[in-house]
Structure 1
Amino acid sequence: MAIEINRITQVNKAALRLPNQPFKRFGTLLVTRTETGWHHQEQLSDQTFEQTFPEENYQLSAIDAAGFALGAFEGSRCVALATFEYDFHFNRYLYLADLKVDPPFRRQGIAANLLNAAEPLAKAHHKRGLCTIAQGSNLGANRFYLAAGFHIGGLNTNDYRFTSQEGDTDIYYYRDF
């Protein structure tokens, strides 16, 4: 069956309940900046483990107030979800706040299709590209964003201070239209 990308509305808002699924943690993207720009290298972990993010409990009214959501559907079943915010920063980028794909549907181009489907909606709101954030320790996500045409535009080393994830980083990604 074909996958169809649709905006989340009152008709299909049950898609916002797509549960978070485990993903593999198997390495870190190490980011540095020199006078020639941003550079990165991968550091694979000795051990692989799975992590699952907490559920978000999305409400359509809040999603629509900040931006919009897109779902990837196989028939009536939502198999992937992306949420976007128009005014994340003062910049001209549409912020990808969340992206998740059911495990059996991963690595089929669905996440990239969701990002591509957001482009005309972003342009209609005078946005010039997409931006998002990935944890440095989520090598799979970092690989995806780099392969999807994003470039590194920043590194935050303080977000996880005083937490159980101290030492982790946030990598800021940008993709221009």
Structure 2
Amino acid sequence: MPENKKIEIRQLTAQDTPALQLPNEPFALHGRMIVTRDAAAWHARFEETDSAATQTFPDEHYQFAEIAKNGFALGAFDQNKPVGLATYQEAFFKYLYLDDLKVNAAYRHQGIARRLIQAAAPAAKQRGYAGIYTVGQDNNIDACRFYLAAGFQIGGLNTRGYGHTQQEGKQDIYFYLDF
């Protein structure tokens, strides 16, 4: 689908609190991204399944004051209707953390998520960051593919974070985007 240029991307203010409540929607679970590393680089391949399973993350109930204290949020609007959200948190090192990125299902594949990332670059640079990083779950292969297509590179893999939970065996992949 072509990029939807009618969508307005802007930094959220206290008046935009309703936009912070954009609900999470289901995404398909149809495989895993397998990450390996050798002496030279990270490598990825995708294992597809025929599964029709979906997952929906719990809604976050963001509060503007909390987000503004440690970062900022960008919203995507179709006229005045919120259709996308990206929340960013200050980080210790030279990469700003993309904590959450979501776009309503009806608006996906229109370039909105990519624009929510691109729009953060000026604020990140102003804060002294050299790029953005985020974490994707290995079973959310559509998100993993998106990050790679958007210019992110694999920079790490956490194979233990879900140990001793109902999601044992799942892995987190760290993605980095340099400006």
TM-score range, shorter chain: over 0.9
Q: Which runs of 5+ in 2 are unaligned?
A: none
Q: Could you tell me how far apart the structure 2 residues matched to 1:48 and 1:105 are? A: 21
Of 128, 133, 136, the match for 1:134: 136
**Aligned position for 1:8:** 12
2:38 matches 1:34: yes
Higher strand share: 1
2:63 matches 1:59: yes
2:108 matches 1:106: yes
Of 42, 48, 52, the match for 1:48: 52
Following superposition, the deviation at residue 46 of structure 1 comes to 3.1
Q: Secondary structure at the match of 1:15?
A: helix
Following superposition, the deviation at residue 6 of structure 1 comes to 1.0
For the Cα contact (< 8 Å) 2:28–2:55, is it kept in 1?
yes
The one-letter code sitting in structure 2 at the alignment partner of 1:62 is: E
- Of all paired residues, the percent bearing the same amino acid is 50
**Aligned position for 1:144:** 146
Task: Using structure 2 for the length normalisation, give the TM-score.
Answer: 0.96
Q: Could you tell me how far apart the structure 2 residues matched to 1:47 and 1:20 are? A: 21
Q: What is the CA deviation profile of residues 24-50 of structure 1, one whole-angstrom value per residue up to 9, with x for unaligned ones?
A: 111100000001210111001231311
**Aligned position for 2:173:** 171
Stretches of 4+ aligned residues off by more than 2 angstroms = none
Q: Which runs of 5+ in 1 are unaligned?
A: none
The one-letter code sitting in structure 1 at the alignment partner of 2:90 is: Y
Following superposition, the deviation at residue 158 of structure 1 comes to 0.4
The one-letter code sitting in structure 1 at the alignment partner of 2:68 is: D
Q: Could you tell me how far apart the structure 2 residues matched to 1:137 and 1:14 are? A: 30
**Aligned position for 1:154:** 156
Task: Using structure 1 for the length normalisation, give the TM-score.
Answer: 0.97
